[in-house]
């Protein structure tokens, strides 16, 4: 019986080898990903044991940790919670970190990021208490406040960018919420608030500016169609194109009418500039079909549509449908059909035109600093793509100036400063008022700020809304705040 006993000992060796391997896999190979899981209470507790980094705007904290006497040694507070809720996000013991920079840069704020490795080692050696890194944001406090105030109680979003660097100057999504209620140490209150926020039909926890339900861009997307036409070389801003009251679409009985009654110019003809100025649907529908689906889609992609961006929060990619027949192409050329965008994407389009056709990578974090204000990392402006040539960008700028000077976007005029822009009124569901849009930049000669504004269901103006009436004044307020007017 000795031979089988020896073989049995081989079986035992195999069984224990399996155990050694599995425990190595968990404790060593998988350890990092297990510790980063949001529901991992041990990681949360460890994070609460050290001071979390601040989130700063213009040197002032919009999220900070204050010492407490209870088991969780630090309480996260948000001095202007509602104003910055979609930027900071929340930091909750029960629900983890999420909803904004708190979630996206959790490792840096908590101090567990690999970027902080050498600092941690030196802290251990010098016996200094470890703290998380602080983040200085690119947000312009005045622009943020102006956007928040101008949007008021209307649902929607505002994004402002610095066109030359890609810095995000304002990021507002309404309705907002106060993240302080989620960071409270009173678990029952936190759970109740969380449930209420998530159940609310207005979805206050959705960041409409970069994520959430994408919007149809409406007429703001005519800029993309115009860019594609100019880039094709077949059209100039002065080209005369058809602009009838109703465009007969091929392959279908449906027609494409203008939003206003009548045609876009004498003899049903209009220049490209005039078509943009008065937001002529028929001219741009026709133009889209002339450009072709491939060139149209390619132009949209060059502006960043479909890119997976993180600012550092993950941005939902905007999209143009992959398959477009002629009528669908005509609809898409005026920003309807299944074109879906984030307000950030629309702001990036304006910013690219303002920046000689170059799209800059949008970002929210300017600097990462240690608790003693030493700079650990600084974001450098980065070029994403060349969307259009400098000449096309200049032509588009002139066309968009006309929109604000004498067209649909007059409400965005700022005295003494040239503003370029485009309005939009996006149909999105039968029976609902259209979304009001405005995008633009200023000063058009030396752009300092590019904005996009969307007001859901026309905001307080309801069915009477058009981008020019509802969204343009909000954009104006933000641009004025940035320009110090």
Q: What residues line the site for another protein (CB under 8 A)? A: 1-6, 8-9, 11-13, 15-16, 18-20, 22-28, 30-32, 34-35, 37, 39-43, 45-46
Q: How far is the CB of 391 from another protein (least distance, A)?
A: 54
- Of the residues 219, 279, 332, 350, only one is catalytic, namely 219
Burial of 114 (0-12, 13-18, 19+ CB in 10 A): exposed
Task: Using only the alpha carbons of the chain, give its radius of gyration.
Answer: 26
Residue 201 annotated to the active site: no
Note whether 80 and 190 are within 8 A (CB). no
DSSP 363: B
Q: Which of 152, 163, 274, 284 is nearest to 217 (CA)?
A: 284
Classify residue 208 by its DSSP letter.
T
One-letter-per-residue 3-state SS of 138-174:
CCCHHHHHHHHHHHCCCCEEEEEECCCCCEEEEEEEE
The partner residues of 466 in beta bridges, in order of sequence, read none
- For the bound state, the minimum distance from the C-beta of residue 76 to another protein, rounded and expressed in Å, comes to 21
Query: Hey, is 239 helix, strand or coil?
Result: coil
Report in angstroms how near the CB of residue 30 gets to another protein at its nearest.
Answer: 6
Q: How far is the CB of 6 from another protein (least distance, A)?
A: 7
Which CB atom, from 16 or from 118, has the smaller least distance to another protein? 16
Pairing of strands 55-57, 134-137: parallel
Residue 96: C-alpha distances to residues 37, 84, 266, 337 (Å): 9, 18, 62, 38
Residue 40 vs 130, nearer CB to another protein = 40
In the complex, minimum distance from the CB of residue 23 to another protein, in angstroms, rounded to a whole number: 5
Distance CA 280, CA 260 (A): 9
- Residue number with CB closer to another protein (18 or 246): 18
- For Cα atoms 388, 394, 400, give the angle at the middle one, nearest 5 degrees: 100
Residue closer to another protein by CB (options 33, 201) is 33
The distance of closest approach from Cβ of residue 93 to another protein in the complex, given in angstroms and rounded to an integer, is 13
Q: How far, in Å, CA of 411 to CA of 388, rounded?
A: 27
Torsion angle in degrees (nearest 10) through CA of 475, 387, 336, 284: 100
Q: Which is nearer to another protein, 121 or 254 (CB)?
A: 121
Residue 160 backbone phi and psi in degrees, to 5 = -125, 135
Q: Quick one: 19 or 373, whose CB is closer to another protein?
A: 19
Q: Catalytic residue numbers? A: 219
């Amino acid at each position: 019986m000795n031979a089988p006993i020896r073989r049995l000992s081989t079986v035992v060796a195999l069984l224990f080898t399996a155990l050694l391997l599995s425990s190595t896999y968990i404790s060593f190979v998988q350890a990092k990903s297990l510790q980063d899981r949001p529901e991992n209470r041990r990681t949360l507790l460890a994070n609460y044991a050290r001071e979390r980094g601040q989130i700063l705007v213009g040197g002032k904290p919009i999220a900070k940790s204050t010492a407490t006497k209870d088991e969780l040694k630090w309480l996260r507070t948000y001095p202007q919670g509602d104003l910055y809720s979609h930027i900071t996000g929340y930091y909750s013991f029960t629900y983890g970190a999420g909803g904004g920079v708190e979630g996206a840069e959790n490792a840096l704020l908590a101090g567990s990021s690999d970027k902080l490795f050498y600092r941690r080692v030196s802290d251990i050696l010098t016996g200094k208490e470890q703290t998380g890194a602080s983040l200085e944001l690119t947000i312009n406090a005045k622009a943020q406040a102006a956007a928040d105030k101008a949007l008021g109680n209307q649902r929607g979003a505002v994004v402002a960018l610095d066109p030359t660097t890609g810095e995000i100057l304002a990021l507002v999504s309404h309705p907002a919420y106060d993240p302080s209620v989620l960071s409270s140490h009173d678990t029952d209150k936190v759970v109740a608030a969380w449930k209420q926020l998530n159940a609310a039909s207005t979805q206050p926890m959705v960041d409409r500016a970069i994520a959430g339900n994408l919007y149809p861009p409406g007429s703001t997307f005519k800029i993309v169609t115009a860019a594609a036409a100019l880039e094709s070389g077949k059209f100039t801003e002065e080209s005369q194109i058809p602009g009838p009251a109703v465009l007969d679409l091929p392959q279908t009985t449906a027609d494409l009418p203008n939003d206003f009654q009548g045609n876009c110019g004498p003899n049903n003809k209009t220049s490209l500039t005039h078509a943009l100025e008065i937001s002529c649907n028929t001219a741009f529908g026709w133009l889209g079909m002339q450009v072709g689906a491939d060139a149209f889609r390619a132009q949209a992609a060059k502006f960043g549509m479909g890119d997976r961006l993180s600012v550092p929060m993950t941005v939902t990619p905007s999209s143009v449908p992959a398959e477009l027949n002629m009528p669908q192409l005509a609809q898409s050329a005026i920003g309807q059909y299944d074109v879906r965008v984030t307000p950030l994407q629309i702001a990036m389009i304006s910013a690219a035109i303002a920046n000689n056709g170059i799209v800059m990578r949008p970002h929210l974090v300017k600097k990462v600093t240690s608790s003693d204000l030493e700079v650990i990392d600084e974001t450098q402006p980065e070029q994403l793509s060349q969307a259009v040539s400098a000449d096309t960008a200049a032509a588009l700028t002139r066309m968009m100036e006309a929109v604000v000077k004498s067209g649909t976007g007059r409400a965005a005029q700022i005295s003494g400063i040239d503003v370029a822009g485009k309005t939009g009124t996006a149909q999105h569901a039968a029976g609902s008022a259209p979304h009001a849009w405005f995008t633009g930049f200023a000063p058009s000669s030396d752009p300092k700020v590019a904005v996009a504004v969307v007001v859901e269901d026309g905001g307080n103006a309801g069915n009477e809304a058009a981008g020019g009436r509802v969204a343009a004044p909000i954009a104006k307020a933000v641009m004025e705040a940035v320009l110090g007017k």
